[in-house]
């Protein structure tokens, strides 16, 4: 099972599960947020796929984290089913006046059953996957290994080390398809350290150095969020407005509109 399949499956499973009482009203926003999260995972997916080919085995860099995520999703599924059961028991009179509601609940339960079965299978597969080796030393000239080590340090909260490694990647492999991603994650590291001015400077470099890179909209959106953290709301709103105009069909445009409506 490939990393892309796992990411796609998690996305599909999350998108079909009801999240709150508002129904379809917030579906567009939820889709945008999920797609943005998948965009941020794109870097990890590419790295893992290359390592799979080179090591000729199926690996999952964050199998432990994915395991925890799956367990959390299963718990959420169970909570949803319990809530639906309580609603069904306490709302028999209301159901009689709303045609088709019981059928919708039944269909939702069927989807949840399928989700639960698929998650159980996925969890079993993940448990059997070999662990990705940690890199105590980075082999010179291996960009994939360098990026994986940097992203691993970012995931662990080792921001200073991750910054150094991502910066080394950008300087050593400036024409790589992952160079804009590496520059973006430098900004994320500073954002995680709550050094928002430094984060803004690094996010600006994504637009400056990689104008056609696919991380430019994400970098501009996170720049806007950093401006909010600094209390510079007018500048943040200007950034969000620019995102909507420059990238009207992007996921970041949807999120920027959310911020502008607050």
pLDDT, tens digit (0-9, with 9 covering 90-100), for 123-144: 555 454 444 444 445 666 789 9
Examine the domain organization and report whether 154 and 61 are in the same domain.
Answer: no
* Number of C-beta neighbours around residue 13 at 10 A: 20
Question: What is the DSSP-derived secondary structure letter of residue 58?
Answer: -
Shared domain check, 204 and 158: yes
Q: Are residues 15 and 119 in the same domain?
A: yes
Q: Give the domain-ending residue among 73, 94, 128.
A: 128
Q: Could you tell me which of 183, 160, 159 has the C-alpha nearest to residue 171?
A: 183
pLDDT value at position 262? Answer: 86
Total count of domains within the chain: 2
Same domain? For 157 and 223 the reply is: yes
64 and 105 part of one domain: yes
pLDDT, residue 19, reads: 47
pLDDT band at 61 (very low <50, low <70, confident <90, very high): very low
| 155 within some domain | yes
Same-domain status, 123 and 7:
yes
Q: Are residues 156 and 243 in the same domain?
A: yes
Question: What's the longest Cα–Cα distance across the chain?
Answer: 70
What span, in angstroms and rounded, lies between the C-alpha atoms of 242 and 246?
6
**One domain, residues 154 and 250:** yes
Neighbouring residues of 62: CB distance < 8 A, sequence distance ≥ 6: 44, 155
pLDDT of residue 142: 87
Are residues 150 and 103 located together in one domain of the fold?
no
Token pair 């028999």 is at which residue? Answer: 92
**How do residues 39-49 score in pLDDT, each as one tens digit?**
666 666 665 66
Cα separation, 105 vs 99, in Å, equals 12
Going by pLDDT thresholds of 50, 70 and 90, the confidence category of residue 192 is very high
Boundary (domain end) residue, out of 128, 156, 186: 128
Determine the Cα–Cα distance for residues 29 and 36; give it in Å rounded to an integer. Answer: 11
**What residues contact 193, with CB distance under 8 A and at least 6 apart?**
159
Instruction: Examine the pLDDT at 151 and tell me if it is beyond 80.
Output: yes
pLDDT in tens, 196-244: 999 999 999 999 999 999 999 999 999 999 999 999 999 999 999 999 9
Three-state SS letters, 4-51: HHHHHHHHHHHHHCCCCCCHHHHHHHHHHHHHHHHHHHHHHHHHHHHH
Which residues lie across from 74 on neighbouring strands? none
Looking up tokens 């030393």 gives 137
Separation of alpha carbons 189 and 38, rounded Å: 18
Position 79 in a domain? yes
Q: 205 and 115 in one domain? A: no
- How confident is the model at residue 92, as a pLDDT? 54
> What's the pTM?
0.53
Among the ranges given (31-45, 125-139, 159-173, 245-259), the one the predictor scored with the smallest mean pLDDT = 125-139
Give the domain range for residue 9: 3-128
Q: Does residue 136 sit within a domain?
A: no
């Amino acid at each position: 099972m490939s990393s892309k399949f796992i990411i796609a499956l998690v996305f599909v499973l999350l998108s079909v599960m009801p999240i709150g009482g508002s129904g379809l009203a917030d579906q567009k926003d939820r889709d945008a947020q999920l797609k943005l999260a998948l965009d941020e995972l794109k870097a990890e997916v590419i790295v893992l796929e290359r390592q799979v080919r080179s090591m000729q085995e199926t690996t999952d860099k964050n199998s432990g984290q994915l395991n925890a995520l799956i367990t959390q999703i299963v718990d959420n599924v169970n909570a949803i089913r319990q809530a639906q059961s309580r609603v069904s028991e306490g709302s028999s009179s209301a159901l009689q006046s709303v045609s088709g509601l019981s059928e919708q609940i039944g269909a939702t339960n069927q989807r949840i059953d399928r989700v639960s079965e698929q998650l159980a299978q996925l969890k079993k597969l993940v448990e059997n996957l070999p662990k990705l080796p940690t890199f105590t030393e980075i082999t010179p000239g291996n960009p994939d290994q360098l990026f994986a080590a940097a992203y691993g340090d970012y995931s662990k909260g080792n921001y200073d080390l991750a910054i150094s490694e991502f910066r080394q990647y950008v300087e050593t492999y400036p024409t790589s398809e992952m160079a804009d991603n590496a520059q973006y994650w430098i900004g994320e590291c500073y954002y995680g350290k709550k050094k928002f001015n430094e984060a803004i400077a690094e996010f600006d470099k994504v637009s400056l150095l990689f104008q056609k890179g696919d991380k430019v909209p994400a970098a501009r959106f996170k720049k806007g969020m950093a401006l909010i953290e600094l209390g510079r709301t007018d500048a943040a709103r200007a950034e969000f407005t620019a995102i909507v105009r420059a990238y009207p069909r992007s996921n970041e445009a949807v999120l920027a509109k959310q911020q502008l409506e607050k």
